[in-house]
Chains A and B, each alone.
Chain A
Amino acid sequence: MVAPVEIRDLSKRFGRVEAVRNLSFDVGAGRVTGFLGPNGAGKSTTLRALLGLVRPTTGTATFDGRPYDELERPSTQVGAVLEDASFHPGRTARNHLRVLAATGEHPQERVDVVLAEVGLTEAADRRVKGYSMGMRQRLAIAAALLGDPSVLILDEPTNGLDPPGIHWMRGMLRDQASRGRAVLVSSHLLAEVAQSVDDVVVIAKGELRGQGPLKQVLGGDDGPSTEVRARDNNRLARELESHGHTVQRDGDALLVLGVTPEQVGAIAGEARVNLIGLAPRGRSLETAFFALTAETT
């Protein structure tokens, strides 16, 4: 079965710079997929290759098996909000959408529908040059929704937004996925999308570092973890596991997930196991993300 969005062995080279290297991933329908990576990781280049704006050096990027520039009416299949979403400053929001509706052969009534959907009805006849960043982002999203597409692609959509704007964006992403759309949203800030994504694709230096459900790739936010060293690590591990805790070997220490040092100390005391060291160790999504995107040596 063909996924709504498929990227296969995609590479893009600009002169000596290899911006994207052998990247492959899918985006599923009805899910929000976070496309994560630090600045310069190759996210925008990948999205632009997907949208036919840059020519891949090798590999393919398709929607339902077809490249963007071969889609008959692309705006009915794909809506895109790119990082540099720009508008003619002298044109009103309504006229901007009317032009896009004419290009995509959408009924003009859709203009009012999408303006209402993003909350811009009252400002629709104002020239875009007077719009705030948040209003421009809403207008870009209205433009993306004009053709009622099955796939939405957003490149760093929260950049420059204030907290209410970010909150609105998160809700909008979830709402679009709940309507069955495949949503691909890029960000260099995990915290901004972690609450709204189902899956993640993590890249760094143009290479894939991980993909799948958020918790599978980055590890869930398992709460406090404890690093412990005992004179008899094997015995302590057995005791902790018998209490239902997950224990991982980490060199000469044990990492006990989801447990505070006090709880580990109590179990060790009951079992009369001598401890050498006991300390809390956090593993947040953020630290996992940093570890995953760190430079490989």
Chain B
Amino acid sequence: MSALLHAELLKLRTTRTFVALGGAALGLSLLVVVLTALLGKSFTEKEVRELFTADFTGLFILMLGVIGMAGEWRHRTITSTILAAPDRLRLLAAKTLSYALAGALLSLIVTAAIMAVGTLILSSRGEPTIGISQLTDVLWRNLLVAALLGGLGVCIGALVRNQIVAVVGVLVFAFVLEPAIMALASDVGRFGPTVAAPNGILEVQPFGNSELLAPGIAALVMVGWVALGFAAAAMLLRQRDLV
């Protein structure tokens, strides 16, 4: 399993997509934090805490997971991948785990960067900052969300296979469908895997006053989504003839 994991992480590192999207996550997160810290006024501690959840790694690693897995079909590399690792269940597990790890690592870099830059700007403007315990609390939540979304992306990519359809579908779901469901039926919408449950973990309210799941429950729901996606993807991958 460690060999497979090593190979999958090597795959990630040896294409430009990961560097490009990882860089985009870092750039976008920094942009939001810098502008907010520079332009905002009279921050409360809660607002500062929420500011440091502006880690866009989750969205980008979700996309990377989808692209990485569906890309195996797009570039028709799935055949050589399975020839090298014929146990398809282990292969999917390694890929899921590698994107979860990559998500956590990227989130660590992005969160550390936005916390450092944000704290510097806020303190230079005489605005309040938050202590190490609160920073650590935000950090692990960001890491957890990124890891879970990275794994979920792989499962979605394995299920949909068509890279473009999968990427567009995930974006439409995250930015249109899930917010719409949240607005129309928040009791259902708060279980959403791309926005609602992750924000439940982060304790950030993106939908006005709609009630989100408690962090522990939200984390369990996210784990459930990943497990469900993994089970469905594994079943499909094991049964599928590669012609």
Contact = CB atoms under 8 A, between A and B. Distances in A.
Contacts of B77: 86-88
Contacts of A14: 241, 243
Contacts of A92: 14
A53 B83 CA distance: 8
Nearest to A96: B14
A55 B241 contact: yes
B86 A84 contact: no
Sorting the interface of chain B by its residue count into under 10, 10 to 19, 20 to 34 or 35 or more gives 20 to 34
A102 B80 contact: no
Nearest to B79: A82
Contacts of A59: none
B125 interface: no
A88 B11 CA distance: 10
A45 B243 contact: yes
24 contacts: A14-B241, A45-B243, A48-B242, A48-B243, A53-B242, A54-B242, A75-B83, A80-B83, A82-B79, A82-B80, A86-B77, A87-B75, A87-B77, A88-B15, A88-B71, A88-B75, A88-B77, A90-B16, A91-B11, A91-B14, A102-B10, A103-B84, A103-B85, A104-B3
Contacts of A71: 86
Contacts of A86: 75-77, 79-80
B242 A98 contact: no
Contacts of A52: 82, 86
Contacts of A82: 79-80, 83
Interface residue SS majority, chain B: helix
B31 to A, nearest CB: 26
A87 B56 CA distance: 30
Given A48-B243, A54-B242, A89-B75, A98 B83 contact: no
Contacts of A51: 83
Sorting the interface of chain A by its residue count into under 10, 10 to 19, 20 to 34 or 35 or more gives 20 to 34
A68 B79 CA distance: 14
Given A69-B86, A85-B80, 6 more contacts: A48-B241, A74-B86, A90-B15, A92-B14, A98-B10, A99-B10
Contacts of B75: 86-89
Nearest to A101: B7
A137 B6 CA distance: 26
A262 interface: no
A105 B3 contact: yes
B14 A102 contact: no
Nearest to B81: A103
**Interface pairs A-B: 10 shortest CB-CB:** A86-B76, A102-B7, A69-B86, A95-B14, A54-B241, A103-B7, A53-B242, A103-B84, A90-B15, A105-B3
B84 A100 contact: yes
A102 B86 contact: no
